[in-house]
Amino acid sequence: MSVRGVLQVHSAPPALCPHIEWAVAGILGVPVRLSWVDQPASPGTLRAELDWHGAPGMSAAITSALAAWNRLRFEVTEEASPGCDAVRYSCTPSLGTFSAVTSACGDILVPEARLRAAMTLAAAGRPARADGGLGGPSGPGGPGVDSLVDLHGPRHPALGGSLEDELALLLGQPWDHELEPFRHAADGAPVRWLHATG
């Protein structure tokens, strides 16, 4: 089974460009030569785009390989296939990696468990309740917000924020805001098509 996907490198230092091609070639199993052009949104960096065909899950492998270089801005998408949802990954140096399941028209789909977690994290900013509900210690429904704060506090950028802040994170808004100028600058960029072997 083969899926289609797109890699958009929005900005990369010129010295990393051959390394990006090598990393993606190692994943796809075919030589990769991208058409690098200047990125006007970030002078001194380059951008490129690659349409690819490969096995389901290759978008995650590409993202994993490229995210190790914290000087890249990129996005990887993969179309849905039988048994696998469509997915989008976005990565920036300041925010790290975002991933989301997407619908056929590109909308982000948020699973119920992630919505419930967002509600719980948003409630962490509220004062504790006497009945041990959200905002207080553990209650009969399982771990409370205090344990979530202990577990996720140092890593979660909006812990204790409003529900709106938490939903913005689930939808990838901070990544969209940072990447939008780079996306517009890429209009008209050359595109390459590659098919993975195997």
139 plus 59 within the same structural domain? no
Domain identity same for 128 and 63:
no
- The predicted-structure confidence for 100-126, as pLDDT tens digits, reads as follows 999 888 899 999 999 998 888 888 765
**Residue 179 and residue 105 share a domain:** yes
pLDDT at 53 > cutoff 70: yes
pLDDT (tens digit, 9 = 90+) per residue, 10-46? 999 999 999 999 999 999 999 999 999 999 999 999 9
Same domain (yes/no): 119, 189: no
Q: What is the pLDDT of residues 166-193, one digit of tens each?
A: 888 899 999 999 999 999 875 555 544 4
Same domain, 59 and 137: no
Residue span of the structural domain in which 146 resides: 112-168
My answer on whether 67 and 127 are in the same domain is no
73 and 147 both lie in a single domain: no
64 and 95 in one domain? Answer: yes
Q: Are residues 38 and 116 in the same domain?
A: no
Mean pLDDT, range 150-174, rounded to an integer: 71
Can you give the pTM of this predicted structure?
0.77
Q: What are phi and psi of 9, to 5 degrees?
A: -90, 110
Q: Is the distance from CB of 160 to CB of 104 less than 8 angstroms?
A: no
User: 96 and 28, same structural domain?
Assistant: yes
Sorted by sequence, the CB contacts under 8 Å of residue 86 that are 6+ apart come out as 77, 78, 79, 80, 101, 102, 103, 104
- Domain tally, the chain: 2
Single-letter amino acid, residue 165: D
Give the residue from 68, 62, 56, 75 showing the smallest Cα distance to 25. 62
- Shared domain check, 76 and 36: yes
pLDDT for 120 equals: 87
Say if residue 179 is in the same domain as residue 135: no
